[in-house]
């Protein structure tokens, strides 16, 4: 699998269950959201603008993908919603890894420049890092209709959060995949 | 990393936070437990007996490890506790994978024979399978003192459960590991 195929397989509408474990023993949080992922044309002005903001030649962009979510977090019933545009740009010497450009579209937010790595096991690792925060997310498909994600957040004081999402494709009319996933 | 080193790094006392997402949209469950993992001598009668029950030459066992847990699951506050003895036996042609013998010690329970695979990324995948159930668990270290686990359960009707554990080593006197984990 390459990163473009990964985003293509991710396209669609998902029901996402999220759990965050605070590693300082605070109570964990649970969220449920609708998640929609769609491919965005490379000629889309938003893709071109994001590349330009990150000083990347838009011709190097491999694809564009937009994720939108809308959900509720417990305890408290807090609503959360947002969207992110993602654009991968491969390293010239290694197409299985590269830069990942992203922007939330929120006013005042600057684009973010992270890294992606596609593993031999077809899992995708996304890394964003600045002076105070290191975030690593791992995404993989247990089947075409079940996507899993884990993430860890690390601050200067050490790891602070570990999260898990299980995402079920919605509106699938064919039966569940029955062949075991490869180990 | 090899499977013996993985169990050695896992040895110790951990605080484990567990979340299970039911994929049929039932409410998720959250557990907290103490988890103790200790190496067991290859000459220990329990290791030898487990090998013999699985018709494996005890001389082929790579190591023994026992995990014991004691916790509470929410909602409901249900207590859960148990222990498992694990014994890996490498494939002759590939030491990074092999059979994983396990037994819970509970009366009437027969030993279980699964598979382990140590990945290039040092994650360990454990697979147990019978006619009606396929269970795949992935375990890895975010740092020496933070161990993560995901698992999926699949029945003939499709995937039924996705779980996540974050495990923090207890009683660590030195500061948290600050170097970012490798991607």
Q: Give residue B123's domain range.
A: 3-171
Distances (CA, A) of B18 to A122, B6, B9, B151: 25, 20, 20, 11
Strand spans (E) along A24-77: 29-40, 64-74
A30 shares contact with chain B (CB less than 8 Å): yes
Q: Establish if B178 belongs to a structural domain.
A: no
CATH code for the domain in which residue B38 is found: 2.40.128.20
Any bridge partners for residue A144, and if so which?
none
Q: Does residue B156 or residue B147 have the better pLDDT? A: B147
- Model confidence at B174, pLDDT cuts 50, 70, 90, reads very low
Query: What ipTM does the predicted assembly reach?
Result: 0.85
pLDDT higher than threshold 70 for residue B94: yes
Q: Establish if A178 belongs to a structural domain.
A: no
Largest CA distance in chain B: 48
Quick check: B183 and A143 CB within 8 A? no
The whole-number pLDDT of residue A178 equals 44
A173 shares contact with chain B (CB less than 8 Å): no
Which residues, 6 or more positions from A95, have their beta carbon under 8 angstroms from its beta carbon? A2
Do B148 and B137 meet the contact criterion of CB atoms below 8 Å apart? no
pLDDT higher than threshold 70 for residue B179: no
Which DSSP helix (H) or strand (E) runs through A51?
A: helix A45-53
Q: Establish if B138 belongs to a structural domain.
A: yes
Q: Establish if A46 belongs to a structural domain.
A: yes
pLDDT higher than threshold 90 for residue B176: no
pLDDT higher than threshold 80 for residue A85: yes
Task: Classify residue B109 by its DSSP letter.
Answer: P
pLDDT higher than threshold 70 for residue A180: no
Q: Establish if A180 belongs to a structural domain.
A: no
Quick check: B158 and A178 CB within 8 A? yes
CA distance A153 to B171: 22
Domain count, chain A: 1
Q: Establish if B50 belongs to a structural domain.
A: yes
| Span of B11-20, B145-154, B163-172 with lowest mean pLDDT | B163-172
Q: Establish if A182 belongs to a structural domain.
A: no
Q: Establish if B182 belongs to a structural domain.
A: no
């Amino acid at each position: 699998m390459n990163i473009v195929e990964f985003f293509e397989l991710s396209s669609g509408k998902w029901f996402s269950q999220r759990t965050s474990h605070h590693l300082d023993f605070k109570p964990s949080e649970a969220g449920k959201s609708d998640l929609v992922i769609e491919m965005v044309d490379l000629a889309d002005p938003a893709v071109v603008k994001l590349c330009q903001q990150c000083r990347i030649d838009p011709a190097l962009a491999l694809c564009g993908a937009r994720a939108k979510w809308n959900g509720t977090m417990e305890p408290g019933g807090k609503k959360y919603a947002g969207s992110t545009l993602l654009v991968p740009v491969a390293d010239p010497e290694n197409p299985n890894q590269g830069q990942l450009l992203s922007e939330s579209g929120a006013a005042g937010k600057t684009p973010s420049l992270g890294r992606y790595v596609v593993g031999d096991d077809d899992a995708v690792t996304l890394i964003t890092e600045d002076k105070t925060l290191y975030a690593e997310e791992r995404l993989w498909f247990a089947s075409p209709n079940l996507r899993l994600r884990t993430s860890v957040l690390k601050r200067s004081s050490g790891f602070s959060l570990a999260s898990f999402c299980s995402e079920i494709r919605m509106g699938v009319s064919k039966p569940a995949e029955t062949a075991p996933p490869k180990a």
